[in-house]
Structure 1
Amino acid sequence: MSPRLALGAFVAALVLVPLVPGLPVFWITLLGNIGLAALVAMGLVLLTGVGGMTSFGQAAFCGFGAYATAVLSTHYGWSPWLALPVSLLVSGSAAVVLGLVTVRLSGHFLPLSTMAWGLSLYYLFGKIEMLGRHDGISAIPPLSLAGFELTDPRAIHYVIWGTVIAAAILTLHLLDSRIGRAIRALRRGQLAAESFGINVARIKLIVFVYAALLAGLSGWLYAHVQRTVTPTPFGISAGIEYLFMAVLGGAGQIWGAIVGAGLVTLLKEALQRLVPALFGNSVQIEGVVFGIALVALLQFAREGLWPHLARILPAPVRLAPKAAEALARRAFGGDRNRPLLVLDAARKQFAGLVAVNDVSFKVGRGEIVALIGPNGAGKSTTFNLITGVTKLTAGTVRFDEAPISGTSPQVIARHGIARTFQHVKLNPDMTVLENVALGAHLRGRAGLMAAMLRLDRRDEARLLAEAACQIERIGLAEHMMKPAGSLALGQQRMVEIARALAMDPELLLLDEPAAGLRHFEKAALADLLARLRAEGMSILLVEHDMGFVMGLTDHIVVLDFGTKIAEGPPDAIKTHPAVLEAYLGGAA
């Protein structure tokens, strides 16, 4: 069964369930509760499973959506449908305010902060007079369509699940886009993403707000389904349950959110009936059994249940991108007598350790310059100073006569500087094509809404075609649709180079590009770099293979313990006494 056919069968089942003769209303209501929970879990899949940001406070955003529509529809007589955009606005605005503080945190501080404001908002809901304090708001009007009130659970069932399916499709569209690749890049660290111009703080905030809007939408539906709102469903315990749903369904799996929501909701309902029947009503241990059952499930399926269910379906066929209109190319120009990159007395000091000691050198236009030296000489730190990853202690870095020191990696990328890394930084779960397309992020224009509504297809086709072109350029076309993590280390280094080239840089920084390559692969890499130089691109590389460096470069800068000890053409460096001593020792 194809994925599309499976989705069609699922939708058909949802349509037919309320029509089953004699089916108790209880099960229709329970199915609706699963749908409401699935909306929140879907946002958490995107936030936590894909974006790598753990949140325990999503239930609070449900509360914002529920209370906003409850107040407007009961106190001011608004139509529930008219209150919907206001509910989303309130949830989204709260997410922006909280997100500006929260998403800047990392490690354990981020989930702890979501717990803190989740608890605070729960108690706040119970203290505000307009919200009815802990008694809440009742007599909330039901949803209505064409003058008919949707009070029957069978009728509201279609509204809930229509919303869930629509949200899932829009979210899948989002992930299959330029913005979606940026979101997926977050989980593996932000350094590589920032180096290709992705505004990590902005992308994190987008994901945070998007997840909050789904939770607010669920809260709006909840208020008009239950027709009463109290603080209890929006506390920290509910937030933890939503996170369990996302993880059990399959972190990073949109359809897994529905599976996780169904599993947790049904498990809670079953235990509330089964445990009293076994142990009596005097022993209330449903919560204990529920926790044990969840831990056992996580032991059985650590990646969630959806990957196991997905094995029943055939894997989706990944097709190579079609031909598309070429992206505009950078024109390499400028005065050849003026250097492109200039380091002037660049210095980096970590407390008492001087990692880079007043280093100065230049990279000319259309020139290959090598930065060499023994291990610990400060080469990678110098790269980080150029790309803004590490801030200068003193000195300046100028690119095309404009100072770039002190700016962020995203700004430096916009100048046309691309890089690879000493330790490969690819997303192993994304295909080679998707990883390389990340490099072309700045060359795309489609935004969030265009991606969700599938209005970005032309822009997306151009980005993927550019990525495919660069993959063919490095000789890995047959691996284009494979996960990047399945490639050998040397091949992954070549993929990093293709990703950097997809940015269409004027200056290419390569950190040990030949490491892990076989002899013929090094020859192919040298040929590629020579062709790039002939096209006008400037290249600065760090490399330990002296045969590779001496046969390729125009100019060499030698560092030792953070200090420049020599500089000149390859022939002069080969016999330089200070270089020989640094590499071989004075006696040699």
Structure 2
Amino acid sequence: MRARAAGLLAFTAILLLIGMLPLPPYWITLANYIGLYSLVALGLVLLTGVAGLTSFGQAAFVGLGAYATAYLSTAYGASPWIGLAAGLAITALAAFLIGLITMRLSGHYLPLGTIAWGLSLFFLFGNLEFLNKYDGITGVPVIGLFGLPLVSGRSMYFLIWACVLGAVLCLGNLLDSRSGRAIRALKGRGMMAEAMGVDTAWMKIAIFVIAALLAGLSGWLYAHLQRAVNPSPFGLNAGIEYLFMAVVGGAGYLWGAILGAALLTVLKDQLQAVLPLLFGGNGNYEVIVFGIMLVVLLQRAREGLWPYLQRRLPRRKDTVMPENAPALPQRARPPAGEPLLRVEKARKQFGGLVAVNDVSFELQAGEIVGLIGPNGAGKSTMFNLVTGVVPLTGGEIRFRAGDGMRRIDGLASRRIASLGIARSFQHVQLLPAMSVLENVAIGAHLRGRRGIPSSLAGLNRAEERMLLQEARRQLERVGLGRLMHEEAGSLALGQQRILEIARALCCDPVLLLLDEPAAGLRYQEKQALADLLRRLKGEGVSILLVEHDMDFVMNLTDRLVVMEFGTKIAEGLPQDVQRNEAVLEAYLGGIAS
């Protein structure tokens, strides 16, 4: 955080110097357009680079902001500031409605959907009579700020870049927050995010609206800089260029958006002057150069230019030391021996395949129960049924919430997590580029209350310290405290599995579901894990685990449930299950004693 503040101060000083130097108006105009494009690219960093949601239609939101202020100021004489409020309101409403539909799409359908609505808005601008169709609106008034009219490009320069710096500061605050960690988890880790309590559908719409608002702000500034608006700058080609700027600069990095916007704006300006002379005719030859650049970039620096440059510059890593914050409140746990989880004739079919076949078992508070069986027995599917990842085909699942047992089948994963059920995954679900501390803090998502607006404004600092301190406490609890500032992707597989346990503990669970927690661990690490799970049991945390290491399971669990081909074939004490003929048949194919 200190490094980001220092970077902002240094960049502000450079911008002030540029604004005060007697540079030609042409270069100031170029700097203004870089700032306008940077605002849109910053939104795409959040939307595409961080959350993994590709959009080709951001230029249409620029158009909404521009046309709203242009129309109100010319037709009704409204001040530009009323135009700003109206433009942002219209943009937010349009983005919300579009997002409700578009953000449900995935894969290649999402970018195709953004192309569709981007083209729709572009042709809407060009066909509405009150917007003068393709002729557009002229005579847009200048912005007045503190009684001073911002007539020249140089005076607009300071306002444009103040907006850019404000956007960088706010988005930086957001990404370093509880909501920011949830946003990062959207990119390929949606199931994990839901299991930690994140409402991923709402989060996608929220960041879609934020990106649209930045584009709308750019459009407002553009309209009063140009003093005229027409549909040409808001088409699909402009949308592609905005996305290209974010990708070239570094789609996951805020400063990369500014770098990409500056590079492409300057390069496009120079190429438009030079290439027609080389080819002997007019044309958009710069598009050819941009295409070649993108191919080379994807081969040499897939993350963009900013991280490529960053790795080659000396930099100091911020060290977050969450200390001296109040502890987070903990939920009450039921007394040992009371029923906690009851699975009654649970059934799951995938077409004609019966993955779980009318399985019933019960887990009591303060117990460690092992769910074992050969590969393909349906154990992980049972975990997914309990945690709401997949719905039941038949039967029911009940969990003790408050003073009674309530049905949880049919609830979303995040609702089940809020009741006190946390889990790890068979295949590790981490965010490899984030620190170990931040990965674990995702587990405390439901224990925080500050949302996106507070995070943008930096009003969440006290809560953030509490969440990070809880993450640190859980890391030290599982023996990974010394690695809290390392990238999660640099850890060995066994350490990543322990990290997942720490993240689950951050949820403050009553019931902990662990899917093969000992896989990849050495003998001493398994012993340490067993000791940890026994301590958790002593603290009132109940555990249901899937594991293939029979020595580990037999020495740890209170009871075992054995499955084969989706059916429960045995249940009981470990020593009894070891002698069960059906279990021996399932594991060993039948061996005479």
Shorter-chain TM band:
over 0.9
- AA aligned to 2:8 is L
Shift of 1:283: 6.1
Query: Where does residue 545 of structure 1 map in the other structure?
Result: 549
Aligned positions of 1:156-195 closer than 5 A: 156-195=156-195
Q: Please, which runs of 5 or more residues in structure 1 have no aligned partner?
A: none
Q: 2-side partners of 1:382 and 1:31: how far apart?
A: 58
Contact 2:272–2:285 (CA under 8 A) maintained in structure 1? no
- Answer whether contact 1:37 1:218 (CA < 8 A) is retained: yes
1:49 to 1:540, Cα distance in 2 relative to 1, 3 A: same
Aligned to 1:517: 521
Displacement of 1:289 after TM fit?
3.2
Whole-angstrom distance in 1 between the partners of 2:510 and 2:215: 44
> Secondary structure of the equivalent of 1:120?
helix
Q: Distance in 2 between matches of 1:48 and 1:383?
A: 31
Residue aligning to 1:212:
212
Q: Deviations over 1:28-77 (max 9, x none)?
A: 00100000000000000000000010000000100111111111100010
Q: CA, structure 1 residues 284+238, in 2 after alignment: closer, same or farther (shift >3 Å)? A: closer
Matched, 1:328 2:329: yes
Alignment-mate amino acid for residue 559 of structure 2:
H
Rounded to whole Å, the distance in 1 between the matches of 2:309 and 2:283 is: 36
Name the residue aligned to 1:287: 287
1:586: which partner in 2?
590
Inter-CA distance 6–198: structure 2 relative to 1 (3 Å threshold): closer
Matches within 5 A, 1:3-402: 4-21=5-22, 23-281=23-281, 285-310=285-310, 311-334=312-335, 336=336, 338-400=338-400, 401-402=405-406
Asked if the contact 1:371–1:540 (Cα under 8 Å) also holds between the matched residues in 2, the reply is yes
What corresponds to 1:412 in structure 2?
Answer: 416
One-letter amino acid matched to 2:288: V
Q: Please identify, of 303-312 and 577-586, the stretch whose mean Cα deviation from structure 2 is larger.
A: 303-312
Aligned mates of 1:375, 1:409 — CA distance in 2? 25
Whether the aligned pair in 2 keeps the contact of 1:271 and 1:290 (CA below 8 Å) is no
CA shift at 1:144, angstroms? Answer: 1.5
SS of residue in 2 equivalent to 1:402? strand
Shift of the 343–516 alpha-carbon distance from structure 1 to 2, 3 Å rule, reads same
Residue 220 of structure 1 aligns to a residue in which SS?
A: helix
CA distance in 2, matches of 1:117, 1:418: 39
Among candidates 524, 527, 531, match of residue 535 of structure 2 = 531
1:267–1:290 CA contact under 8 A, matched in 2: no
CA distance in 2, matches of 1:284, 1:71: 31
Normalising to structure 1: TM-score of the pair?
0.97
* Amino acid of the structure 2 residue aligned with 1:77: G
Query: What CA deviation, in whole Å up to 9, does each residue of 1:168-188 have, x standing for no partner?
Result: 011000100000000011113
| Shift in Å, 1:4 | 4.4
Contact 2:272 2:284 survives alignment (8 Å): no
> CA-to-partner distance for each residue in 1:216-274, whole Å, 9 max, x for gaps?
00001001001111111110110000000000010110011000001111111011101
Whether the 8 Å CA contact 2:8–2:165 is kept in 1: the answer is no
Structure 1 position 460, deviation (Å): 0.5
Q: 1:3 to 1:103 in 2, by over 3 A?
A: closer
Alpha carbons 1:141, 1:224 under 8 Å: kept: yes
Matching residue's letter, 1:253:
Y
Q: Is the 8 A contact 2:195 2:414 kept in 1?
A: yes
Partner of 1:468: 472
Is the 1:39–1:215 contact (alpha carbons within 8 Å) kept by the matching residues of 2?
Answer: yes
Q: Could you say what secondary structure the match of 1:126 adopts? A: helix
Deviation readout 1:540-559 (Å, 9 max, x if unpaired):
00011111111111110000
State the alpha-carbon separation in 2 of the partners of residues 333 and 497 from structure 1.
Answer: 21
Name the residue aligned to 1:423: 427
Q: Is the 1:2–1:313 contact (alpha carbons within 8 Å) kept by the matching residues of 2? A: no
Give 1:447 shift: 1.4
- Paired letter, 1:15: L
In the TM superposition, what is the alpha-carbon distance from 1:405 to its structure 2 partner? 0.4
Aligned residues: 586
Deviations along 1:398-429, one digit per CA (max 9) or x if unpaired, are 00110000111011101100000000001101
Counterpart residue type for residue 293 of structure 2: A
- Give percent identity, aligned residues only: 60
Distance in structure 2 (CA, Å) of the matches to 1:385 and 1:154: 61
Displacement of 1:313: 4.5
Q: Give the Å deviation of 1:537.
A: 1.2
SS at match of 2:186: helix
Distance 2:63 2:549 in 1: 60
Q: Give the structure 2 partner of residue 441 of structure 1.
A: 445
- Structure 2: distance between partners of 1:430 and 1:561: 38
Kept in 1, the 8 Å contact 2:347–2:357? The answer is: yes
Question: Closer, same or farther in 2 for the Cα pair 1:575/1:451, shift >3 Å?
Answer: same
Change (3 A) 1:206 1:420: same
Q: Aligned-residue CA RMSD in angstroms?
A: 1.4
2:571 to 567, 571, 582: 567
Local SS of the residue matching 2:458:
coil
Partner of 1:457: 461
1:284–1:531 distance in 2 versus 1, CA, 3 Å: closer
Query: Aligned partners of 1:283, 1:418: CA distance in 2, in Å?
Result: 59
Q: CA deviation at 1:132?
A: 1.1
Following superposition, the deviation at residue 284 of structure 1 comes to 5.6
Q: Structure 1 residues 285 and 323, CA, compared in 2 at 3 Å: closer, same or farther?
A: same
Taking the aligned partners of 1:283 and 1:314, their CA distance within structure 2 comes to 43
Q: How far does residue 478 in structure 1 lie from its aligned partner after superposition?
A: 0.7
